[in-house]
Structure 1
Protein backbone atom coordinates (compact mmCIF):
# COMPACT_ATOMS: atom_id res chain seq x y z
CA UNK A 1 0.00 0.00 0.00
CA UNK A 2 2.83 2.38 0.92
CA UNK A 3 4.54 1.65 -2.42
CA UNK A 4 1.29 2.45 -4.25
CA UNK A 5 0.92 5.77 -2.40
CA UNK A 6 4.56 6.60 -3.06
CA UNK A 7 4.23 5.85 -6.76
CA UNK A 8 1.03 7.90 -6.99
CA UNK A 9 2.68 10.85 -5.22
CA UNK A 10 5.66 10.71 -7.58
CA UNK A 11 3.29 10.61 -10.56
CA UNK A 12 1.45 13.70 -9.30
CA UNK A 13 4.73 15.58 -8.79
CA UNK A 14 5.89 14.73 -12.31
CA UNK A 15 2.59 15.88 -13.76
CA UNK A 16 2.70 19.16 -11.85
CA UNK A 17 6.26 19.73 -12.99
CA UNK A 18 5.33 19.10 -16.61
CA UNK A 19 2.35 21.45 -16.37
CA UNK A 20 4.48 24.21 -14.84
CA UNK A 21 6.88 24.21 -17.77
CA UNK A 22 5.81 26.88 -20.25
CA UNK A 23 5.36 25.69 -23.79
CA UNK A 24 7.52 27.53 -26.33
CA UNK A 25 5.83 30.04 -28.62
CA UNK A 26 5.44 29.34 -32.33
CA UNK A 27 4.68 31.70 -35.21
CA UNK A 28 1.93 29.26 -36.17
CA UNK A 29 -0.11 30.95 -33.41
CA UNK A 30 -0.26 34.27 -35.27
CA UNK A 31 -3.92 34.83 -36.21
CA UNK A 32 -5.24 36.35 -39.40
CA UNK A 33 -4.20 40.00 -39.65
CA UNK A 34 -5.69 43.06 -41.27
CA UNK A 35 -4.10 44.25 -44.50
CA UNK A 36 -0.74 45.98 -44.42
CA UNK A 37 -2.34 49.23 -45.56
CA UNK A 38 -4.90 49.11 -42.74
CA UNK A 39 -2.25 48.47 -40.08
CA UNK A 40 -0.02 51.19 -41.53
CA UNK A 41 -2.92 53.63 -41.41
CA UNK A 42 -3.64 52.62 -37.81
CA UNK A 43 -0.03 53.17 -36.82
CA UNK A 44 0.26 56.52 -38.60
CA UNK A 45 -2.99 57.83 -37.11
CA UNK A 46 -2.06 56.86 -33.54
CA UNK A 47 -1.72 59.68 -31.03
CA UNK A 48 0.36 57.75 -28.49
CA UNK A 49 3.97 58.59 -27.73
CA UNK A 50 4.53 55.20 -26.05
CA UNK A 51 6.18 52.68 -28.38
CA UNK A 52 4.79 49.70 -26.44
CA UNK A 53 1.23 50.94 -26.79
CA UNK A 54 1.76 51.70 -30.48
CA UNK A 55 2.89 48.15 -31.26
CA UNK A 56 0.50 46.40 -28.87
CA UNK A 57 -2.50 48.12 -30.45
CA UNK A 58 -1.51 46.96 -33.94
CA UNK A 59 0.15 43.56 -33.60
CA UNK A 60 -0.42 40.18 -32.01
CA UNK A 61 1.43 39.58 -28.74
CA UNK A 62 3.10 36.23 -29.32
CA UNK A 63 5.01 35.86 -26.08
CA UNK A 64 6.17 37.44 -22.84
CA UNK A 65 9.59 36.74 -21.42
CA UNK A 66 10.75 37.39 -17.88
CA UNK A 67 14.13 37.82 -16.27
CA UNK A 68 15.14 39.26 -12.90
CA UNK A 69 11.48 40.14 -12.18
CA UNK A 70 11.20 42.26 -15.34
CA UNK A 71 9.18 41.42 -18.44
CA UNK A 72 9.57 42.07 -22.16
CA UNK A 73 6.84 41.52 -24.73
CA UNK A 74 7.17 39.90 -28.15
CA UNK A 75 4.86 40.99 -30.98
CA UNK A 76 4.69 39.38 -34.42
CA UNK A 77 3.47 40.07 -37.95
CA UNK A 78 3.53 38.40 -41.35
CA UNK A 79 2.62 41.55 -43.27
CA UNK A 80 5.81 43.65 -43.09
CA UNK A 81 9.48 43.29 -43.80
CA UNK A 82 11.92 44.62 -41.23
CA UNK A 83 12.67 47.65 -43.41
CA UNK A 84 8.98 48.44 -43.85
CA UNK A 85 8.01 48.19 -40.20
CA UNK A 86 11.09 50.04 -38.92
CA UNK A 87 10.49 52.88 -41.38
CA UNK A 88 6.82 53.11 -40.42
CA UNK A 89 7.30 52.88 -36.65
CA UNK A 90 10.25 55.28 -36.52
CA UNK A 91 8.24 57.71 -38.64
CA UNK A 92 5.37 57.66 -36.15
CA UNK A 93 7.46 57.83 -32.96
CA UNK A 94 10.99 59.04 -33.57
CA UNK A 95 13.56 56.95 -31.65
CA UNK A 96 16.51 58.41 -29.81
CA UNK A 97 18.80 56.02 -31.68
CA UNK A 98 18.40 53.66 -34.62
CA UNK A 99 20.97 51.02 -35.46
CA UNK A 100 22.14 49.86 -38.82
CA UNK A 101 20.49 46.65 -39.95
CA UNK A 102 22.66 43.74 -38.79
CA UNK A 103 21.83 40.63 -40.77
CA UNK A 104 18.14 40.05 -40.07
CA UNK A 105 17.89 42.36 -37.04
CA UNK A 106 17.59 46.05 -36.28
CA UNK A 107 17.18 47.93 -33.01
CA UNK A 108 15.58 51.21 -32.01
CA UNK A 109 16.18 52.91 -28.66
CA UNK A 110 13.49 55.04 -27.04
CA UNK A 111 13.65 56.92 -23.71
CA UNK A 112 12.34 53.91 -21.75
CA UNK A 113 12.49 51.01 -24.22
CA UNK A 114 14.78 49.07 -26.50
CA UNK A 115 12.86 47.64 -29.48
CA UNK A 116 14.37 44.85 -31.59
CA UNK A 117 12.97 43.90 -34.98
CA UNK A 118 14.03 40.46 -36.08
CA UNK A 119 13.25 38.03 -38.86
CA UNK A 120 11.97 34.80 -37.33
CA UNK A 121 14.23 31.76 -37.69
CA UNK A 122 11.10 29.64 -37.68
CA UNK A 123 9.52 31.45 -40.66
CA UNK A 124 11.36 34.03 -42.76
CA UNK A 125 8.03 35.69 -43.59
CA UNK A 126 7.50 36.67 -39.95
CA UNK A 127 8.96 39.72 -38.19
CA UNK A 128 9.28 39.52 -34.41
CA UNK A 129 9.26 42.74 -32.37
CA UNK A 130 10.68 42.62 -28.87
CA UNK A 131 9.83 45.56 -26.62
CA UNK A 132 12.06 45.60 -23.55
CA UNK A 133 12.19 48.25 -20.86
CA UNK A 134 15.58 49.76 -20.14
CA UNK A 135 15.45 47.98 -16.77
CA UNK A 136 14.98 44.62 -18.48
CA UNK A 137 17.89 45.44 -20.78
CA UNK A 138 20.09 46.60 -17.92
CA UNK A 139 19.45 43.48 -15.82
CA UNK A 140 19.39 40.79 -18.51
CA UNK A 141 21.02 41.67 -21.81
CA UNK A 142 24.45 40.64 -22.95
CA UNK A 143 26.58 43.70 -23.73
CA UNK A 144 28.15 41.78 -26.62
CA UNK A 145 24.72 41.39 -28.19
CA UNK A 146 23.94 45.09 -27.82
CA UNK A 147 27.38 45.95 -29.12
CA UNK A 148 26.46 44.40 -32.46
CA UNK A 149 24.04 47.33 -32.84
CA UNK A 150 25.61 50.19 -30.88
CA UNK A 151 28.95 51.20 -29.37
CA UNK A 152 29.54 50.63 -25.67
CA UNK A 153 29.76 54.39 -25.19
CA UNK A 154 26.27 54.86 -26.62
CA UNK A 155 24.85 51.88 -24.71
CA UNK A 156 26.20 53.21 -21.43
CA UNK A 157 24.74 56.63 -22.20
CA UNK A 158 21.31 55.25 -23.08
CA UNK A 159 21.29 53.21 -19.85
CA UNK A 160 22.41 56.24 -17.83
CA UNK A 161 25.60 54.58 -16.69
CA UNK A 162 29.29 55.29 -17.12
CA UNK A 163 30.35 51.65 -17.16
CA UNK A 164 27.30 49.37 -17.49
CA UNK A 165 28.78 47.45 -20.43
CA UNK A 166 32.04 46.71 -18.63
CA UNK A 167 30.36 45.69 -15.36
CA UNK A 168 27.76 43.60 -17.15
CA UNK A 169 30.46 41.89 -19.20
CA UNK A 170 32.06 40.76 -15.96
CA UNK A 171 28.73 39.50 -14.60
CA UNK A 172 28.00 37.57 -17.79
CA UNK A 173 31.43 35.96 -17.61
CA UNK A 174 30.81 34.90 -14.02
CA UNK A 175 27.33 33.48 -14.65
CA UNK A 176 28.32 31.81 -17.91
CA UNK A 177 25.74 33.48 -20.14
CA UNK A 178 23.43 36.45 -20.56
CA UNK A 179 20.37 37.11 -22.66
CA UNK A 180 21.14 37.68 -26.33
CA UNK A 181 17.80 38.05 -28.07
CA UNK A 182 14.51 36.21 -28.55
CA UNK A 183 13.69 33.17 -30.67
CA UNK A 184 10.57 31.04 -30.92
CA UNK A 185 10.70 27.31 -30.27
CA UNK A 186 12.37 27.54 -26.88
CA UNK A 187 11.15 28.44 -23.40
CA UNK A 188 14.52 29.34 -21.86
CA UNK A 189 17.11 31.82 -23.04
CA UNK A 190 20.49 33.08 -21.92
CA UNK A 191 20.92 34.01 -18.28
CA UNK A 192 17.74 33.73 -16.19
CA UNK A 193 15.37 34.77 -18.99
CA UNK A 194 12.49 32.41 -19.76
CA UNK A 195 9.07 32.53 -21.38
CA UNK A 196 6.12 33.48 -19.21
CA UNK A 197 3.17 32.57 -21.38
CA UNK A 198 0.90 32.25 -18.37
CA UNK A 199 0.79 36.06 -18.31
CA UNK A 200 0.41 36.49 -22.05
CA UNK A 201 -2.37 38.97 -22.78
CA UNK A 202 -3.13 39.60 -19.09
CA UNK A 203 -1.56 43.05 -18.83
CA UNK A 204 -3.40 46.26 -19.61
CA UNK A 205 -1.26 46.59 -22.74
CA UNK A 206 -2.72 44.27 -25.33
CA UNK A 207 -1.71 43.52 -28.89
CA UNK A 208 -3.21 42.17 -32.05
CA UNK A 209 -6.49 44.04 -32.28
CA UNK A 210 -9.78 42.17 -32.44
CA UNK A 211 -8.22 39.04 -33.96
CA UNK A 212 -5.49 38.64 -31.36
CA UNK A 213 -7.16 35.68 -29.69
CA UNK A 214 -6.04 36.71 -26.23
Structure 2
Protein backbone atom coordinates (compact mmCIF):
# COMPACT_ATOMS: atom_id res chain seq x y z
CA UNK A 1 0.00 0.00 0.00
CA UNK A 2 2.93 2.29 0.80
CA UNK A 3 4.25 1.89 -2.76
CA UNK A 4 0.87 2.83 -4.25
CA UNK A 5 0.68 5.90 -2.00
CA UNK A 6 4.07 7.04 -3.26
CA UNK A 7 3.04 6.60 -6.87
CA UNK A 8 -0.18 8.54 -6.32
CA UNK A 9 1.77 11.36 -4.66
CA UNK A 10 4.22 11.54 -7.59
CA UNK A 11 1.30 11.53 -10.04
CA UNK A 12 -0.34 14.46 -8.25
CA UNK A 13 2.90 16.47 -8.39
CA UNK A 14 3.33 15.71 -12.11
CA UNK A 15 -0.26 16.78 -12.82
CA UNK A 16 0.27 20.03 -10.92
CA UNK A 17 3.39 20.79 -12.95
CA UNK A 18 1.55 20.16 -16.25
CA UNK A 19 -1.38 22.38 -15.22
CA UNK A 20 1.05 25.14 -14.23
CA UNK A 21 2.77 24.94 -17.62
CA UNK A 22 -0.54 25.29 -19.45
CA UNK A 23 -1.60 28.22 -17.28
CA UNK A 24 1.65 30.05 -17.89
CA UNK A 25 1.13 29.52 -21.61
CA UNK A 26 -2.36 31.06 -21.39
CA UNK A 27 -0.89 34.14 -19.76
CA UNK A 28 1.29 34.63 -22.82
CA UNK A 29 -1.44 34.17 -25.38
CA UNK A 30 -2.29 36.95 -27.79
CA UNK A 31 0.60 39.13 -28.83
CA UNK A 32 3.18 37.34 -26.77
CA UNK A 33 6.73 36.13 -26.97
CA UNK A 34 10.00 37.94 -27.53
CA UNK A 35 11.67 39.25 -30.62
CA UNK A 36 14.64 37.27 -31.85
CA UNK A 37 17.81 39.04 -32.97
CA UNK A 38 17.93 40.64 -36.40
CA UNK A 39 16.77 38.38 -39.21
CA UNK A 40 18.12 40.52 -42.04
CA UNK A 41 21.53 38.87 -42.23
CA UNK A 42 19.84 35.59 -43.19
CA UNK A 43 18.10 36.91 -46.28
CA UNK A 44 18.99 34.77 -49.30
CA UNK A 45 20.67 36.23 -52.35
CA UNK A 46 18.26 37.87 -54.76
CA UNK A 47 18.23 38.28 -58.53
CA UNK A 48 19.36 41.71 -59.66
CA UNK A 49 17.03 44.69 -59.82
CA UNK A 50 16.20 44.51 -63.52
CA UNK A 51 15.33 40.80 -63.33
CA UNK A 52 13.00 41.32 -60.37
CA UNK A 53 11.20 44.18 -62.12
CA UNK A 54 10.87 42.16 -65.32
CA UNK A 55 9.54 39.12 -63.45
CA UNK A 56 6.93 41.27 -61.69
CA UNK A 57 5.89 42.93 -64.94
CA UNK A 58 5.51 39.58 -66.71
CA UNK A 59 3.94 37.72 -63.80
CA UNK A 60 0.59 36.00 -64.23
CA UNK A 61 -0.13 36.16 -60.49
CA UNK A 62 -3.75 36.96 -59.71
CA UNK A 63 -3.14 38.53 -56.30
CA UNK A 64 -0.58 40.81 -54.69
CA UNK A 65 0.07 38.12 -52.09
CA UNK A 66 1.13 35.59 -54.73
CA UNK A 67 3.06 38.23 -56.67
CA UNK A 68 5.13 39.12 -53.62
CA UNK A 69 5.65 35.50 -52.58
CA UNK A 70 6.93 34.62 -56.04
CA UNK A 71 9.41 37.47 -56.30
CA UNK A 72 10.77 38.28 -52.86
CA UNK A 73 12.31 36.25 -50.01
CA UNK A 74 10.32 35.69 -46.83
CA UNK A 75 11.87 37.52 -43.91
CA UNK A 76 9.52 36.77 -41.05
CA UNK A 77 6.02 35.70 -40.00
CA UNK A 78 4.26 37.65 -37.26
CA UNK A 79 1.69 35.64 -35.28
CA UNK A 80 -1.05 36.76 -32.93
CA UNK A 81 -4.25 35.14 -31.70
CA UNK A 82 -6.11 37.49 -34.01
CA UNK A 83 -4.30 37.08 -37.28
CA UNK A 84 -1.00 36.47 -38.98
CA UNK A 85 1.11 38.61 -41.29
CA UNK A 86 3.97 37.65 -43.58
CA UNK A 87 6.95 39.95 -44.04
CA UNK A 88 9.02 39.85 -47.22
CA UNK A 89 12.10 41.93 -47.99
CA UNK A 90 14.38 43.14 -50.73
CA UNK A 91 17.76 44.82 -50.96
CA UNK A 92 17.46 45.33 -54.71
CA UNK A 93 14.53 47.76 -54.99
CA UNK A 94 13.81 51.09 -53.34
CA UNK A 95 10.46 51.77 -51.68
CA UNK A 96 9.11 53.77 -54.67
CA UNK A 97 10.26 51.07 -57.09
CA UNK A 98 8.64 48.34 -55.00
CA UNK A 99 5.32 50.15 -54.57
CA UNK A 100 5.15 51.21 -58.22
CA UNK A 101 6.01 47.75 -59.57
CA UNK A 102 3.43 46.00 -57.39
CA UNK A 103 0.66 48.53 -58.01
CA UNK A 104 1.25 48.53 -61.78
CA UNK A 105 1.18 44.73 -61.94
CA UNK A 106 -1.91 44.38 -59.76
CA UNK A 107 -3.73 47.68 -59.17
CA UNK A 108 -4.86 48.09 -55.55
CA UNK A 109 -8.19 49.51 -54.44
CA UNK A 110 -6.40 52.25 -52.53
CA UNK A 111 -2.85 53.62 -52.52
CA UNK A 112 -1.69 55.71 -49.60
CA UNK A 113 0.54 58.74 -49.66
CA UNK A 114 4.25 57.99 -49.48
CA UNK A 115 5.54 59.38 -46.20
CA UNK A 116 8.18 58.73 -43.54
CA UNK A 117 9.63 55.80 -45.44
CA UNK A 118 6.37 53.89 -45.79
CA UNK A 119 3.49 53.39 -48.19
CA UNK A 120 0.42 51.15 -48.11
CA UNK A 121 -1.40 49.35 -50.91
CA UNK A 122 -4.90 48.13 -50.03
CA UNK A 123 -6.42 45.18 -51.84
CA UNK A 124 -9.71 43.35 -51.42
CA UNK A 125 -8.69 41.35 -48.35
CA UNK A 126 -5.13 42.43 -47.63
CA UNK A 127 -3.00 45.42 -46.80
CA UNK A 128 0.49 45.46 -48.31
CA UNK A 129 2.54 47.66 -46.00
CA UNK A 130 5.84 48.71 -47.55
CA UNK A 131 8.54 50.26 -45.37
CA UNK A 132 12.16 51.26 -45.48
CA UNK A 133 13.89 49.37 -42.70
CA UNK A 134 15.21 51.57 -39.92
CA UNK A 135 17.32 48.71 -38.54
CA UNK A 136 18.96 47.66 -41.81
CA UNK A 137 19.74 50.45 -44.31
CA UNK A 138 19.03 49.46 -47.89
CA UNK A 139 16.33 46.93 -47.00
CA UNK A 140 12.67 47.43 -47.94
CA UNK A 141 10.06 45.25 -46.20
CA UNK A 142 6.62 44.26 -47.49
CA UNK A 143 4.17 43.09 -44.86
CA UNK A 144 1.12 41.23 -46.17
CA UNK A 145 -1.51 41.73 -43.48
CA UNK A 146 -5.13 40.66 -43.70
CA UNK A 147 -7.92 43.09 -42.88
CA UNK A 148 -8.42 41.11 -39.67
CA UNK A 149 -4.77 41.50 -38.68
CA UNK A 150 -4.82 45.26 -39.27
CA UNK A 151 -8.16 45.70 -37.52
CA UNK A 152 -7.19 43.77 -34.41
CA UNK A 153 -3.50 44.60 -34.03
CA UNK A 154 -2.41 47.82 -35.70
CA UNK A 155 -2.30 51.20 -34.01
CA UNK A 156 -4.22 53.81 -36.03
CA UNK A 157 -1.34 56.23 -35.50
CA UNK A 158 0.78 54.13 -37.86
CA UNK A 159 -1.41 55.33 -40.72
CA UNK A 160 -1.21 59.03 -39.86
CA UNK A 161 -0.29 60.93 -43.00
CA UNK A 162 -1.05 57.85 -45.13
CA UNK A 163 -4.83 57.51 -44.91
CA UNK A 164 -7.56 59.63 -43.36
CA UNK A 165 -9.43 58.04 -40.46
CA UNK A 166 -12.72 57.85 -42.32
CA UNK A 167 -11.03 56.01 -45.19
CA UNK A 168 -9.51 53.45 -42.80
CA UNK A 169 -12.94 52.92 -41.27
CA UNK A 170 -14.41 52.22 -44.69
CA UNK A 171 -11.61 49.87 -45.73
CA UNK A 172 -11.93 47.92 -42.48
CA UNK A 173 -15.73 47.72 -42.64
CA UNK A 174 -16.37 49.86 -39.58
CA UNK A 175 -17.98 53.18 -38.78
CA UNK A 176 -15.64 54.06 -35.94
CA UNK A 177 -12.61 51.71 -35.96
CA UNK A 178 -10.15 54.60 -35.96
CA UNK A 179 -11.45 56.30 -32.81
CA UNK A 180 -12.22 53.10 -30.91
CA UNK A 181 -8.88 51.53 -31.72
CA UNK A 182 -7.02 54.73 -30.86
CA UNK A 183 -8.67 54.79 -27.42
CA UNK A 184 -7.87 51.14 -26.73
CA UNK A 185 -4.27 51.58 -27.90
CA UNK A 186 -3.80 54.60 -25.66
CA UNK A 187 -5.17 52.63 -22.72
CA UNK A 188 -3.11 49.51 -23.41
CA UNK A 189 0.00 51.29 -24.64
CA UNK A 190 1.25 48.34 -26.68
CA UNK A 191 -0.52 48.26 -30.05
CA UNK A 192 1.39 47.04 -33.07
CA UNK A 193 3.13 49.84 -34.92
CA UNK A 194 4.32 48.00 -37.99
CA UNK A 195 7.10 45.49 -38.52
CA UNK A 196 9.83 48.10 -38.14
CA UNK A 197 8.81 49.10 -34.62
CA UNK A 198 8.17 45.49 -33.65
CA UNK A 199 11.52 44.23 -34.92
CA UNK A 200 13.38 47.05 -33.14
CA UNK A 201 11.71 46.09 -29.88
CA UNK A 202 9.52 49.15 -29.46
CA UNK A 203 5.74 48.86 -29.26
CA UNK A 204 3.81 45.58 -29.09
CA UNK A 205 6.96 43.99 -27.81
CA UNK A 206 5.14 40.79 -26.96
CA UNK A 207 4.24 39.73 -30.50
CA UNK A 208 5.29 36.22 -31.47
CA UNK A 209 7.58 35.77 -34.43
CA UNK A 210 8.30 32.48 -36.12
CA UNK A 211 11.38 34.00 -37.77
CA UNK A 212 10.73 31.95 -40.88
CA UNK A 213 13.26 32.76 -43.55
CA UNK A 214 13.84 31.79 -47.14
CA UNK A 215 11.46 31.42 -50.02
CA UNK A 216 11.37 33.78 -52.94
CA UNK A 217 13.30 33.63 -56.16
CA UNK A 218 16.79 33.65 -54.64
CA UNK A 219 16.54 30.27 -52.96
CA UNK A 220 18.28 27.38 -54.61
CA UNK A 221 20.08 29.54 -57.15
In structure 2, the residue matched to 1:51 is 64
Match of residue 209, structure 1, among 196, 213, 217: 217
| Farther off after superposition, 52-61 or 28-37 | 28-37
In structure 1, the residue matched to 2:45 is 32
Summarize the Cα distance change of 1:167–1:105 in structure 2 as closer, same or farther, 3 Å threshold: same
Q: Is the 8 A contact 1:24 1:195 kept in 2?
A: no
Which runs of structure 2 are paired with 1:127-138 in the superposition (5 Å)? 127-138=140-151
Return the alpha-carbon distance in structure 1 between the equivalents of residues 188 and 135 of structure 2: 28
Which runs of structure 2 are paired with 1:58-207 in the superposition (5 Å)? 58-183=71-196, 185-186=199-200, 189-190=203-204, 193-197=207-211, 200=212, 207=215
| Farther off after superposition, 131-140 or 96-105 | 96-105
Q: Could you list the per-position Cα deviations for residues 129-183 of structure 1 after superposition, in whole angstroms to 9, with x for gaps in the alignment?
A: 1110110000000011123310001000000111111111122122122111112
Instruction: Give the TM-score, by structure 2 length.
Output: 0.77
Shift in Å, 1:50 = 1.4
Shift in Å, 1:28 = 1.2
| Paired residue secondary structure (1:139) | helix
Return the alpha-carbon distance in structure 1 between the equivalents of residues 220 and 133 of structure 2: 19
Gaps of 5+ in 2: 1-20, 22-32
Return the alpha-carbon distance in structure 1 between the equivalents of residues 199 and 78 of structure 2: 13
Counting matched residue pairs gives 191
Instruction: Give the TM-score, by structure 1 length.
Output: 0.80
* Rg comparison, structure with higher value: 2
Shift in Å, 1:21 = 5.5
